[in-house]
A and B are shown apart, each in its own frame.
Chain A
Amino acid sequence: MSVTVTSKNARTDAQPPRLLGNISSWLALGIGLLAVIIFFTFASEDWFTIVNFTLIAAIATLALNVLSGYTGQISLGISFFMAIGAYTSALLGGTPPTSPLEPQGLGLSFLIWIPAAGIVAALVGALIGPTALRLKGFYLGIVTLALVFIGQYLFVNIPGITGGPQGRTFPVPAFGDFPFNQQNQLLGVAFTPGQQYFLLFGAILLIAALFVGNVMRSRAGRAFRAVRDHEVGAAVMGVNLFEAKMGAFILSSFLAGIAGALFASYISYVTPNYWDLTLAIQFVAAIIVGGTASVWGSILGAAFVFGLPQVIDYFSLLPTGTAGSLTSGNLNALIYGLLIIVFLLFEPGGVMGLVQRFQKLIRKFSHHDERKGGEPAEIIDLSPEPGYLDQP
C-alpha cells in the first residue's frame, strides 16, 4: 500500500535558521557596527550615560522576558533579584569599612563580583523557585510582588550589608588602579568613563543576548514556550514542568542579579527603597512595549522605558515651570502606561510584533508566496526511517 509522494518543495533544509544567514543580515550587522563605532568615538558623556543605562536595563528586561515572556510565569518581583545581585556585589566588591558603622565590603575585583552577583541571585531563585512556581497566574504574580516588599523590609534591616535606610555606595569596576569612573589610557588612547562603561555593559549585554537567543532556539527554549502556551499539553509531550520553570526562574534570576549589580554600580549610591515595585513594573512595561519573548524586543523595550526619560531630560523637551509634577519620569510613566494598554489591546507583540507584521507585508509584496494553502497530499508514503524503531 505504499506509493511514493511527489512533494513539490523537496527542500530538506536541515540547517537551523542561522543568526547571520543571508546577505541582509550581514549588511545589517555591518551598518550596526559602523553606527556603534561612530557613536563610540563622537558621543558626549551625557549620551553615554543614557545609552549605558539602557544597556543595563536591557539585561534586566531580558531576564524578565526569559521568565515571563518566554515561559509565561508572571513575575512582578524582578527588583528583588536585582537587589540580591547588587548587595552581593557590594559585599564582595565594596571598599572595606574603616569604621564599624560603615557597611561591609571585601574590595574584590569586578571580575569576581559581577558573576557572583548573578550566581547568588540564581541561588536565591533556586531556593524560592520550588515554592513559588507551584502557584500559577495571578497567585504567582502576587507572591512575587510580596517578595519585593519582604525584600525591602529585609534590606532596610541589615545595615551591615545594605547600609540601612540611608543606603550605601557600590563598587566601581576597575582594572587594578584604573577604575572605570575616571579617564584612563590604554596604548596611548584615552578612554572616558562613559566609553569604558559602554564597553563593559555592551559586552555583558551581548553575551547575555546571544546566550538567551541560543537557549530559545534550542530544546530548552521550545520547552519554555510550551509551558507558557499550555502546561498540561507540554507535560503530555514530555516536558518536565518543574524543571522547565525552575530553569527559567534560575536563568532569569541570574541575569537580574547581574543587572542589579551593574545598576547599583553605575548609580553608585543606592538606598534599599530603590528596589521597589515601581522598578519591577517598569521592566514589565518594557517587555510589553518592546515585545514579549524576543531578544530585540527586550532591548527596544528597555530603550523606551529607561532611555527615553533621560533623552527627554537631555533635550529639555518639557516646559519648565509647569505646575504639578510634569517631570520626565512622570511623563514617561504616563506614556508607557498608555502604551501598555494600547499595545495589549491591539498589538500584544509589542514593537517587535509591529516590526514582524511590517516584515510580513514586505515579504508578501516582494516575492512569490511559497505558502500553497491547505490541500493535503493525497498519497503518502511512510516507509520506515532508518533507526526509527531502534530505541532502548
Chain B
Amino acid sequence: MSDESAALSRASHSITVPPLLAVEGISVRFAGVNALSDVSFSVQRGALFAVIGPNGAGKTSLFNVLSRVYQPVAGRVTFDGRDLLRLKTHQAARVGIARTFQNLGQFPTMTVLDYLLLGRHTRMRSGIILGGIYLGPTRSEEKRNRAYCLRLLDLIGLQHLQNQALGSLPFGLQKRADIARALALEPKLLLLDEPAAGMGSEETEDIAAVILDIKEQLGVTQILVEHDMALVMGIADQVLVLDFGRAIAQGTPAEIQANPDVIKAYLGEEFEQKDADTLSIPTDSSR
C-alpha cells in the first residue's frame, strides 16, 4: 500500500468525516445458530475494507445483511446517512450497494452483456408498456446503456465475450463478469464475495489489480470477503477478523497479522502471547 494512501486513511480518521457505512451491534440468528453476534465496524468512503475469518465465521451472513437478504435480530446499520435495515432486498441496489456472488452459475443462459445490463436494472426505467412499444424512450435507453456496459466490458477485458452465455465461460471469467456487473450499477459500495476463490496466483494478481483500480480510479468503497491472505494483506486498508460470528479484531493488515487473538483463531490455542511476535499469519504465496 502506497504512502499516500496510508497517510490519507490516517488523515481521514483524524478529520471526523462520517463513514459511508456504520455497522453497530449486528446479530444474526437462524436455525439455532448465532451466525453473527454483536458485530460492529465502520467503513470510510473510498476505503478498501476486508473481512476475514475461518470458515463459518459469519462473513457471508454479514454480506447478506448488507445486501439486505437477511434481517438481523439486533443492531443498526447506517449507510450513506440512511438506516439500511429498513430497506428491502431490491432496494439495496437502488441506494448504491452492489454485491458479487460467491457461488456463480445462477444465470447460466444469460449473455455477458445482458448480465451487465441486468446490473443496470436500477439505473434504467423502462417498464413493460414502454418496453413493449420499444420505439422511443426504451430504444434510446437500451442504446445508451448497452454502450455503457460495452465500455465497461472493454475495460475489464471481456468485450469479445459479450454474447457468450455466462454458463459457458470458465470460472475465472465468470467472476470477472460478475464484478463488471456489480460495477455496472455505479455503486457507492461494492461488496466482493470471495473474488479470488478458485483462482491461481496469476489470476489472483489480476483480480487484485482490478480491485485496486476500482479503489484508486473510481473511488468506489469496497468491502472484501476473502480467504486468500496474501491478497487481503496486500491491498486492504482495514481488516476485520470474524470468528464464530464475533468480531475479534480490527486494524491495518500489519496490526492484524500480529494480533494474538487472530493468531489463536486461525492456528489454535497452543500459540499464545509469547509466540505472537515470532509467529504471524503467512502472507506469502507459497502454500
Contacts and interface: CB of A to CB of B under 8 A. Distances in A.
**Are any A and B Cβ atoms less than 8 Å apart in their complex?**
yes
A222 B114 contact: yes
Contacts of A233: 101, 106-107
B143 to A, nearest CB: 5
A377 B176 CA distance: 11
A177 interface: no
Given A222-B121, A380-B210, A380-B213, A212 B132 contact: yes
Contacts of A374: 169-170, 172-173
Contacts of B15: none
A237 B119 contact: yes
A154 to B, nearest CB: 28
Contacts of B107: 225-226, 229-230, 233
B74 interface: no
Interface in B145-182: 146-148, 150-151, 154-157, 159-161, 164, 169-170, 172-173, 176, 181
Interface string B67-79: 1110000000000
A304 B141 CA distance: 37
B217 A251 contact: no
Interface in B96-147: 96, 99, 101, 106-110, 114, 117-119, 121-122, 124-128, 130-134, 138-139, 141-144, 146-147
B93 interface: yes
Contact of A240 (B90, B99, B181, B186): B90
A374 B212 CA distance: 22
B233 interface: no
A20 B131 CA distance: 18
Contacts of A223: 118, 121
Interface string A189-229: 00000000000000000000001101101111111011001
Highest count of chain A CB atoms <10 Å: which of B109, B131, B210:
B131
Contact of A371 (B142, B148, B161): B161
A241 B210 CA distance: 31
A236 B69 contact: yes
Nearest to B108: A229
A214 B217 CA distance: 37
* Main DSSP-derived SS at the A contact region: loop
Contact of B151 (A215, A385, A391): A385
B178 to A, nearest CB: 10
Contact of B142 (A8, A218, A229, A388): A218
A221 B185 CA distance: 18
A127 interface: no
A10 B134 contact: no
B92 A391 contact: no
A248 B73 CA distance: 34
A2 B160 contact: no
B118 A226 contact: yes
Contact of B150 (A13, A217, A222, A381): A13
B218 interface: yes
A367 interface: no
A220 B93 CA distance: 16
A15 interface: yes
A7 B94 contact: no
Nearest to A233: B106
Interface in A224-272: 225-226, 229-230, 232-241, 247, 251
A5 B121 contact: no
A232 B164 CA distance: 23
Contacts of B83: none
A269 to B, nearest CB: 34
A381 B143 CA distance: 23
Given A16-B146, A251-B128, A238 B90 contact: yes
A220 B137 CA distance: 14
A15 B143 contact: yes
A226 B90 CA distance: 13
For the complex of A and B, 8 pairs with smallest distance between CB atoms:
A238-B93, A377-B157, A14-B147, A218-B131, A230-B106, A238-B122, A214-B134, A211-B132
Given A7-B157, A247-B127, A381-B213, 13 more contacts: A10-B159, A214-B138, A219-B121, A219-B131, A220-B126, A220-B131, A225-B110, A232-B69, A237-B118, A238-B90, A247-B128, A385-B148, A385-B151
Interface of B: 67-69, 89-94, 96, 99, 101, 106-110, 114, 117-119, 121-122, 124-128, 130-134, 138-139, 141-144, 146-148, 150-151, 154-157, 159-161, 164, 169-170, 172-173, 176, 181, 185-186, 203, 206, 209-210, 212-214, 216-219
